[in-house]
Structure 1
């Protein structure tokens, strides 16, 4: 995924930091806009995190594909397979990005959030992308270290109680767990 993220970062930098790239990108935007697509005003490029890079690039996917057609200097457009991998990765990273801004919540509320991430990994695991399998394996390691403590904190929280743990574990581990 590093190579795909690098390609997206370079593509965004090409259209934001070079005059030729900006002009050709505007031309691609105008052509896509004629076909009922996005206008340049709808787009904003962020390069602060991997999630931001993916979100920005995916939002402009049709424009980058058009840019590849009209600009002979633009050789960075990802292949269809790379775009599909980017969609899967963005879906996975969105869970972590959602947690990023929640610094003042109690530990008991992290359990449902991490369960949601685990459920997302279970869904994405069916896509057969090897990088997701590696990410899930790493997440499993951290999950195994903290899930019981977080579950206990959730049970002791009067807002959540045992039901949230029971329902989450059934989804994650199955009815026989």
Structure 2
């Protein structure tokens, strides 16, 4: 288990520190909570604002148990209603992976062509010659995607499209490429034919589509800057993209978007399951504020559902402010009492010595 702490110091500088990296005997929620609690005790950390984890079912139990522990310590802010944060980057990964299950034949043909050319040094040499003839100057090299990493599919296609003319020329020089594409059988049993005229057009559309999610993942995965204030903005942007692409004339993209939209709604269509701190962070960003968040909520969820979320959010922001004011007031009183006590002790000590 790797436990990373993010915090802002008194000089408003953001820090990221790995507080624990250790083997664990069980991935059960209760055991994970015990391991995390032990780490917090070892470091003397008792104030935890949020816990960000992936969507593993055991994490539900983990966060519930941690919330109970923080309540015992008297540090569970707003009874832990904000504590559980689902990793946005992880959810995006799951959404795109679902969509890539529906990739069309154009992507399959490009992947197989890459696999064929990379098989021998002689083919790679011939392909490089084609690049020189076509005057393709690129520092990138042909790469195959890794099934478990969706962004590798984006990187594979993004690189391949730069070598489009080289692929076409290579097909004329090596008939084996077209034979390979024609005779190759994919895992799902569908025959993948040779390149067709609109293959590269579809690849460019696919790259542009996946680029949005690739850049989004990079933005929300940053560790040297605060990201919570842009999460809701990005979620709203993705929702708009899905609405647009589901009605696309490109059947491959439309099918992918439909699949991804279903996964998207699994995580972000039920307001009661969403952590309101995602909205609050956006409200506190002076570029967005409450009016923007309210507008996006109405756009995403409609007048009735979105309106209720807007009203609930306003009440939550007020209660959050009241909670901070109450806690700050107590701490100020405590500090004042401690300061007064110290002053009295000093005065008594001075008078005694006199």
TM-score (norm 2): 0.41
Change (3 A) 1:121 1:80: farther
- Distance in 1, matches of 2:126 and 2:201, equals 25
The within-5 A match list for 1:8-87 is 8-33=110-135, 38-39=136-137, 41-47=138-144, 49-75=152-178, 76=181, 78-87=195-204
After TM superposition, where is structure 1 displaced by more than 6 Å over at least 4 residues in a row?
173-177
- The alignment yields a C-alpha RMSD, in angstroms, of 3.2
CA distance in 1 between partners of 2:236 and 2:169 (Å): 39
Structure with the greater alpha carbon radius of gyration: 2
1 or 2, which has the higher helix percentage? 1
- Indicate the structure whose relative CO is greater, using CA pairs within 8 Å and at least 6 residues apart: 1
Q: Distance in 2 between matches of 1:143 and 1:91?
A: 24
- What 5-or-longer segments of structure 1 have no aligned partner? none
Cα deviation digits, residues 129-163 of structure 1 (max 9, x gap):
22222222222332214667333442244553123
- Partner residue of 2:222? 103
TM-score (norm. length: structure 1)? 0.73
1:112 alignment partner, one of 227, 233, 247: 233
User: Alpha carbons of 1:127 and 1:159: their partners in 2 closer, same or farther (altered >3 Å)?
Assistant: closer
- Would the alpha carbon gap of residues 165 and 45 (structure 1) be closer, same or farther in structure 2, given more than 3 Å must change? farther
| Greater strand content | 2
Structure 1 pair 51–151 and aligned structure 2 pair: CA distance change class (3 A): same
Aligned residues, how many?
Answer: 172
1:141 aligns with 2:258: no
| Cα distance in 2, alignment partners of residues 63 and 125 from structure 1 | 33
Cα contact 2:117–2:123 (8 A) shared by 1: yes
Q: 2:282 aligned with 1:154, yes or no?
A: yes
Instruction: Answer whether contact 2:131 2:163 (CA < 8 A) is retained.
Output: no
Q: Deviations over 1:75-108 (max 9, x none)?
A: 2464344434333332222222113332333323
Name structure 2 gaps, 5 residues minimum.
1-102, 146-151, 182-193, 307-354
Deviation at 1:52, TM superposition (A): 0.8
